[in-house]
Amino acid sequence: EVQLLESGGTVVRPGGSLRLSCEASGFKFDDYAMSWVRQAPGKGLEWVSHINWSGGLQRYVDSVRGRFTISRDNARNTLYLQMDNLGDEDTAFYFCAMKGVDNAFDMWGQGTLVTVSS
């Protein structure tokens, strides 16, 4: 069964850092590019970051560029999101998603909640 399981979400102080993980199973992880998508409370989904199969190409939405770093460890079948200098606006559920053919996200995890609060 194809599965994505996010972890690492917690309460963090403004200006703090956090690393999210997304463990993949049931498919050949290093065949697929991956993205992080977030949903702030009461808001819609927002694409945050993307990484290609090898980790050699990363992209970010403007609001997180320079603060967030996406990476992956294909030996561990795990995707990461390092989040630094967190602000209130980063409070959200964070989902990892597997990009399949035709630039669609075939599979998503159930998300992990990040709360930025003093």
Q: Is residue 53 a contact residue for another protein (CB under 8 A)?
A: no
Choose the binding region for another protein from 8-16, 23-31, 56-64, 74-82 (rule: CB under 8 A): 56-64
Span 6-35, contacts to another protein by CB under 8 A: 35
Looking at this protein, which amino acid is placed at residue 11?
V
CB nearer to another protein: pick between 96 and 116: 96
Smallest distance from another protein to CB 115, Å: 16
Q: Applying CB under 8 A, does 109 fall inside the site for another protein?
A: yes
E-strand ranges in the chain read 3-7, 11-12, 18-25, 33-39, 45-51, 58-60, 68-73, 78-83, 92-99, 105-108, 112-116
Sheet of 78-83: strands edge to edge? 3-7, 18-25, 78-83, 68-73
Residue 7 · residue 21 · CB < 8 Å: yes
Contact call for residue 79 and another protein (CB under 8 A)? no
Interacting residues with another protein (CB under 8 A): 4, 35, 37, 44-47, 50, 52, 57, 59, 61-62, 95, 97, 100-111
